[in-house]
């Protein structure tokens, strides 16, 4: 897909969800230990949970589980079935499937219990449409060399350019700590102090010491460093 089409279809994927995941609606503190989410970018149920993470201003370790990917076996071993999303909360010992249950759990455990209507059942129809316009990106594994340590990505779910970076991380199944910095995020000030300006995506790779903004540069870096 050429760059113009790539950005245009990513914008459509944001628009069909009416930019859900663009702003924080229920702010608060982070859990002591990062949440862990096994998911894949093109899955509408996973997207609903990612939108919720942006809404609740929560970070999470993402273990990408594209079809054919290496983290899938962990989910099967821990939960008994191959179904995504799968949340692990090391703070409470909770492990669970089902997007709606995961979102309610996050609301009850870390915020005031309220889940917005925008994260209701209709999400799946528009989320599926959004995945369709991305023409299979974020769905299937591509050969890669696993990093020794997880990477870090600053992003938020509705960000058109961040999606391009997340899809590359997903397809190369690179685990990463996702810092959600949607509008009104309490983490924006610290992020801007680190990166120089409020612009996502922004990638940090502790394996090489490299840090960078710009989705095209991030995708090229990931491909050349970890693509096989």
Note the residue count of the chain: 228
Would you say 48 or 179 has its CB closer to ligand GSH?
48
Compute the least distance from the CB of residue 83 to ligand GSH, in Å: 4
Name the residue nearer to ligand GSH (CB basis): 62 or 204.
62
Shortest Å distance, C-beta 50 to ligand GSH: 12
CB of 81 to ligand GSH, least distance (A): 8
Please identify, using beta-carbon distances, which residue of 21 and 85 lies nearer to ligand GSH: 85
Q: In this complex, which beta carbon is closest to ligand GSH, that of residue 84 or of residue 176?
A: 84
Closest C-alpha among 126, 136, 127 to residue 1: 136
- Beta-bridge partner residues of 144: 227
Contacts 24+ apart (CB under 8 A), 136-140: 136/42, 137/1, 137/41, 137/42, 137/167, 137/171, 138/40, 138/41, 138/42, 138/66, 138/166, 138/167, 138/170, 138/171, 139/40, 139/41, 139/42, 139/43, 139/66, 139/67, 140/66, 140/67, 140/68, 140/171
Q: What is the closest distance, in whole angstroms, from the C-beta atom of residue 117 to ligand GSH in the complex?
A: 17
The helix-helix angle for 44-55 and 99-110 (nearest 10°) equals: 10
CB of 198 to ligand GSH, least distance (A): 32
CB nearer ligand GSH, residue 97 or residue 105: 97
CA atoms within 13 A on the CB side of 99: 23
Cα separation, 58 vs 34, in Å, equals 9
Bridge partners for 61 per DSSP: 36, 177
Q: Least Å distance between CB 45 and ligand GSH? A: 4
State which residue, 39 or 205, has the beta carbon closest to ligand GSH: 39
Binding site for ligand GSH (CB under 6 A): 43-45, 82-85, 97-100
């Amino acid at each position: 897909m050429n760059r113009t089409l790539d950005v245009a279809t990513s914008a459509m994927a944001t628009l069909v969800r009416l930019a859900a995941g663009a702003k924080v609606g229920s702010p608060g503190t982070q859990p002591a230990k990062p949440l862990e989410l096994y998911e894949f970018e093109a899955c509408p149920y996973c997207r609903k949970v990612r939108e919720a993470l942006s809404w609740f201003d929560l970070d999470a370790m993402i273990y990408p589980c594209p079809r054919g990917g290496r983290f899938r076996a962990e989910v099967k071993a821990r939960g008994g079935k191959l179904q995504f999303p799968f949340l692990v909360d090391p703070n409470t010992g909770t492990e669970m499937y089902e997007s709606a249950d995961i979102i309610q759990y996050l609301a009850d455990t870390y915020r005031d219990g309220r889940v917005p209507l925008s994260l209701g059942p209709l999400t799946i129809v528009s989320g599926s449409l959004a995945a369709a316009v991305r023409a299979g990106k974020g769905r299937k594994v591509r050969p890669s060399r696993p990093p020794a340590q997880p990477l870090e990505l600053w992003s938020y779910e509705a960000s058109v350019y961040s999606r391009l970076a997340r899809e590359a991380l997903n397809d190369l199944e690179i685990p990463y700590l996702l810092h959600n910095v949607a509008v009104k995020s309490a983490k924006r000030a610290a992020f801007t102090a680190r990166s120089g300006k409020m612009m996502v995506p922004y990638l940090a790779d502790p394996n090489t010491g490299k840090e960078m903004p710009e989705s095209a540069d991030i995708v090229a870096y990931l491909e050349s460093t970890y693509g096989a």
